[in-house]
């Protein structure tokens, strides 16, 4: 299960690791939620 903190939704773009050192992928947070069927919740203090 993938859970993202709700604060991620305030950004237009976020960078995630592309699986290789120095390789970052720019994605829209809603796209990540959709692709991963992720849950968005208030998990950070």
The answer to whether 2 touches 35, Cβ cutoff 8 Å, is: no
* DSSP track, 6-22: GGGGG-S-EEEE-SSTT
Q: What is the percent of the chain with per-residue pLDDT over 70, rounded to a whole number?
A: 100
Q: What is the pLDDT of residues 4-39, one digit of tens each?
A: 999 999 999 999 999 999 999 999 999 999 999 999
What integer pLDDT is reported at residue 1 of this predicted model? Answer: 94
Q: What is the DSSP letter of 37?
A: T
Residue 45 confidence class, pLDDT cut points 50, 70, 90:
confident
Tell me how far CA of residue 5 lies from CA of 9, 16, 20, 25, 33, in angstroms. 8, 14, 24, 19, 11
**Its pTM surpasses 0.85:** no
Cβ pair 36, 28 in contact under 8 A:
no
For the chain, give every domain's residue range. 3-41
């Amino acid at each position: 299960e993938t859970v993202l903190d709700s604060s991620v939704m305030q950004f237009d773009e976020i960078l995630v690791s592309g699986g290789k050192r120095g390789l970052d992928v720019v994605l829209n947070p809603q796209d990540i939620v959709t692709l991963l069927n992720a849950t968005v919740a208030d998990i950070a203090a």
